[in-house]
Structure 1
Amino acid sequence: MANTFFQFKQFTVHQEHCAMKVCTDACIQGAFTAQYLRGATGVHTILDIGAGTGLLSLMLAQAHPAAITAIELDAGAALQSRENFAASPWADRLSLLEADVRALQPTALYDFVITNPPFYESALKSGHAQKDQAMHATNLDYAALLQAIAAHLKPGGSFSVLLPYQEFLLFRELAERAGFHACRLLQVKQSVRHGYFRTVGIFSRELQTTVEEELDIRDAHNNYTAAFTALLQPYYLKL
């Protein structure tokens, strides 16, 4: 059975009410995006689409002083996020909306958007409704996600997305058609022996040269690599 909580250095993520638990690739997205934001200017507000446990919002809150609004459709996950936010050191600038982002009217635009969306648009589903909603694009496909991002993002803003490597190729094509261009990419491998299995992409409406990096989680001896350790050291207890 999965742990009911995940302890980080500065916060705890309880996850018993969430179909999707804390995972390494989401932690990589949070840490990589936090690094990007530390070098960005003019980011005062962040929107987290599909908050789940609230992990990404909490990771960004640890690293950046922006006010963060998270949106979550599932009632159990929304409750979990709200509780995790309230127990964190940054409760005063973390808020949760239980809503469908497609139906949410953009009363305010955000400087930055982060999302770890449902991965698979056409793969076989598990038969577990809550997990299928979290893992598969049953409610929010890639085109609808891009529409939601465009509706809530300021004209000069940017966004971060995590997807499996192959699915990311499709998403990038759709993003280009929607006027978003990849400015930073992180290609992730489970180890030096594996091929790419996840991509973290940061997009903006500004056409620019794409900076692409590679990250191996484990080395040939199955130990965390120096690059992975450096990236996650601010968060993981044992690094």
Structure 2
Amino acid sequence: MPNSYFRFKQFTVHQDRSAMKVCTDACIQGAFTARYLAGRAVPVQQVLDIGAGTGLLALMLAQQLPAAAITGIELDAAAAGQAAENFAASPWATRLQVTQTDVRYMPAARQYDCIITNPPFYEGSLQSSNVLRNQAMHATTLGYAELLDAIATHLAADGLFSVLLPYAAFGTFRQLAAAPGFFSQEILEIKQSPRHDYFRTVGIFSRVTTSPVLHSLTIYDEHNRYTPEFTALLKEYYLYL
């Protein structure tokens, strides 16, 4: 059974009421996106986390972006409640909030500088008997096209968004994103070890047409130890790095 909490250097994520637990690839997305945003000349002010789950990504961004107010939205009521508790217990409680809602019907009351999302991965694939896990892992409530529509509605004209997807699905998503005018700026391809194929991709998109910067990250070396690149990316977060 997964642990009921995951402790980081500056915050703790309780996760017993969320279908999706803390995972390495989501941590990579949070760290990679936070590093990219922190390196921009103009500080990020407003961030939206679509499908906040436990609040992991919002907490990682809050740690690295001191000027950012971050709003998480989560469809599942239990997960939204747990994210709110994780936010309240963090050092950045005043800059974090969560709302239990469906992004497809959320009023466009504000435009966000950045949207981050770890969306349902799988479209049209075999599902389990766990309804909440299916909702979190499979595009049963939010397909890629609907996600892009939501992003287009809530993202500022000069804003950017970060998405984590299976490596095999990223090309399709990238083509779909071009239709509403979103183009990849940075791409991070992730593999477990040198003997494994790529299995996840993080993409950072904006409305600027450009050739993306391509990065590669291997989590473990041939001796099953964290690689120096992984350690450098996650050392600000992981308790024992």
User: Do these two structures clear the TM 0.5 threshold for a shared fold by scoring above it?
Assistant: yes
The correspondence for 1:169, drawn from 154, 157, 171, is 171
Deviations 1:185-224 (A, max 9, x none): 0000001111110000000001012000000000011110
Quote the Cα distance in structure 1 between the aligned partners of 2:199 and 2:127.
Answer: 19
Aligned to 1:49: 50
Query: Could you tell me the TM-score, scaled by structure 2's length?
Result: 0.98
Moved more, 86-95 or 42-51: 42-51
Aligned to 2:70: 68
Quote the Cα distance in structure 2 between the aligned partners of 1:116 and 1:62.
Answer: 18
1:81 deviates by 0.4
Aligned to 1:29: 29
Quote the Cα distance in structure 2 between the aligned partners of 1:25 and 1:123.
Answer: 20
Structure 1: gaps (5+ residues): none
The within-5 A match list for 1:181-200 is 181-200=183-202
Asked if 1:153 corresponds to 2:155, the answer is yes
Asked if 1:217 corresponds to 2:219, the answer is yes
Verify the 8 A CA contact 1:42 1:111 in the aligned structure 2.
Answer: no
* Deviating 4+ runs (over 6 angstroms): none
Verify the 8 A CA contact 1:111 1:157 in the aligned structure 2.
Answer: yes
Deviations 1:21-79 (A, max 9, x none): 00000000000001000112242100000000000000000000200000001001000
SS of residue in 2 equivalent to 1:118 = coil
Q: Which amino acid aligns with 2:18?
A: C
- Say how many residue pairs are matched: 239
Quote the Cα distance in structure 2 between the aligned partners of 1:212 and 1:195.
Answer: 16
Quote the Cα distance in structure 1 between the aligned partners of 2:177 and 2:211.
Answer: 16
Quote the Cα distance in structure 1 between the aligned partners of 2:112 and 2:43.
Answer: 11
Aligned to 2:38: 38
Q: Which amino acid aligns with 2:107?
A: Q
SS of residue in 1 equivalent to 2:219 = strand
Asked if 1:138 corresponds to 2:143, the answer is no
Coordinate RMSD, CA, aligned:
0.6
Aligned to 1:92: 94
SS of residue in 2 equivalent to 1:191 = coil
Deviations 1:98-127 (A, max 9, x none): 100000011010000000000001110011
Aligned to 1:14: 14
Query: Could you tell me the TM-score, scaled by structure 1's length?
Result: 0.99
Residue identity (%): 62
